[in-house]
């Protein structure tokens, strides 16, 4: 039924780059929309962030929507 996943899984299934500001050196770091952490290419330090609401929060089929590997990684990144 949910062959293509729900809207909340799009950013995870088809990640796109976003710019965040490195909290260590203040420069712009590219992070993909399915990533919870990214090493800054300027200072080499790790930036972590919390991904906003995705299908993981409310979808009973989240594991199928985003795939098991990403599901586990994102769940782990949330610390719960
Ligand atoms: Zn940096
Ligand atoms: Zn879903």
Calculate how far, in angstroms, residue 24's C-alpha sits from the geometric centre of ligand 2: 34
Q: Is the pTM of this model over 0.85?
A: no
Q: What count of residues does the chain have?
A: 80
Calculate how far, in angstroms, residue 80's C-alpha sits from the geometric centre of ligand 1: 27
Q: For residues 38 and 25, what is the distance between their CA atoms, to the nearest angstrom?
A: 14
Calculate how far, in angstroms, residue 66's C-alpha sits from the geometric centre of ligand 1: 29
User: pLDDT tens digits, residue range 9-64?
Assistant: 988 889 999 999 999 999 999 999 999 899 999 999 999 988 878 888 889 999 99
Calculate how far, in angstroms, residue 55's C-alpha sits from the geometric centre of ligand 1: 30
């Amino acid at each position: 039924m949910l062959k293509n996943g729900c809207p909340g899984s799009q950013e995870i299934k088809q990640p796109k780059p976003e710019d965040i500001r490195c909290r260590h050196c203040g420069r712009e770091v590219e992070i993909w929309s399915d990533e919870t952490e990214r090493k800054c290419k300027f200072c080499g330090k790790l930036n972590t962030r919390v991904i906003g609401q995705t299908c993981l929060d409310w979808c009973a089929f989240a594991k199928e929507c985003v795939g098991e590997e990403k599901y586990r990684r994102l769940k782990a990144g949330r610390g719960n």
